């Protein structure tokens, strides 16, 4: 199986912030059972894709499970009444708020590109893209936006498809060439469009891995016109796209 390493993508705190935003949750009152379930679903998808998951993702999964189990325990009846019981989520909330503030502060120092690049890898040159598109504003789609779209596509695949034996052999390299060929003829295409062309679950997975590899090499950009909107795949204005 083709393996994509995630050292250039986000970490577990980014995934939690993504889930909090997506579900429009109050960061000070996280429904830990719901978030834990969704977090584990994302990890399962990453494992299905054979992504090289860093150990801190698994540590966070264990932390969430621990918090969930503590919140299921009944109150300690032996504890003194005047003692206020500590919320098991408190430490996690503190970490998330500090991390969120750190990311937002880093984003305000765009003029200090060298410093910002040391803090957060920026795989796409959105300024060049926006200049080429007449100033139209774009958001960079995160890995978790992509996995969310991938999950939706998989959920629409008939169950019979999961049991079907696929005779055709589709490779990541073939899909990379197809995507690059399409972008040599067109400026962009929707992520849903490229998935809809896939004829099997195997082809959907391979297509997704090909897109991740192209993003990692800065050949393409995955962008949105607003947060959580449909994802577009666009050729990187700073990377010439040659026909595959």
What average pLDDT does the segment 225-230 reach? 79
Whole-structure pTM value: 0.67
Report d(CA 161, CA 212) in Å as an integer: 24
pLDDT tens string 154-196: 887 765 554 444 445 788 999 999 999 999 998 889 988 888 8
pLDDT tens string 122-145: 444 555 555 556 556 677 888 888
To the question of domain 123-244 being in CATH 3.40.50.300, the answer is: no
Average pLDDT for the chain = 77
Q: What pLDDT band is residue 86 in, cutting at 50, 70 and 90?
A: confident
Task: State how far the alpha carbon of 152 is from the alpha carbons of 123, 145, 157, in Å.
Answer: 25, 11, 9
Report d(CA 111, CA 108) in Å as an integer: 8
Q: Which residue's entry shows tokens 């969310």?
A: 148
Sort residue 239 into left (φ over 0), alpha (ψ -120 to 50) or beta.
Answer: beta
Structure confidence at residue 74 (pLDDT): 76
pLDDT at 61 over 90: yes
* Domains of the chain by residue range: 1-122, 123-244
pLDDT at 205 over 60: yes
Range in 25-34, 53-62, 87-96, 207-216 with the lowest mean pLDDT: 53-62
pLDDT: which is higher, 137 or 118: 137
């Amino acid at each position: 199986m083709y393996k994509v390493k995630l050292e250039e993508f986000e970490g577990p705190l980014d995934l939690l912030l993504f889930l909090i935003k997506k579900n429009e949750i109050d960061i000070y009152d996280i429904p830990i059972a719901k978030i834990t379930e969704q977090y584990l679903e994302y990890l399962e998808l990453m494992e299905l894709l054979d992504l090289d998951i860093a150990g801190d993702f698994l540590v966070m999964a264990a932390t969430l499970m621990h918090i969930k189990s503590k919140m299921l325990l009944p109150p300690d009846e032996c504890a003194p009444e005047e003692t206020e019981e500590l919320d098991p989520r408190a430490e996690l909330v503190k970490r998330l708020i500090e991390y969120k503030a750190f990311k937002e502060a880093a984003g305000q120092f765009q003029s200090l590109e060298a410093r910002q690049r040391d803090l957060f890898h920026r795989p796409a040159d959105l300024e060049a893209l926006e200049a080429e598109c007449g100033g139209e504003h774009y958001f960079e789609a995160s890995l978790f936006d992509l996995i969310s779209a991938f999950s939706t596509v998989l959920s629409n695949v008939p169950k019979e498809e999961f049991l079907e034996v696929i005779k055709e052999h589709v490779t990541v390299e073939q899909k990379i060439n197809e995507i690059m060929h399409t972008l040599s003829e067109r400026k962009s295409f929707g992520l849903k469009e490229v998935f809809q062309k896939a004829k099997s679950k195997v082809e959907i997975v391979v297509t997704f891995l090909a897109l991740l590899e192209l993003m990692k090499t800065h050949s393409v950009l995955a962008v949105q016109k607003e947060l959580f909107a449909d994802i577009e795949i666009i050729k990187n204005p700073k990377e010439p796209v040659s026909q595959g």
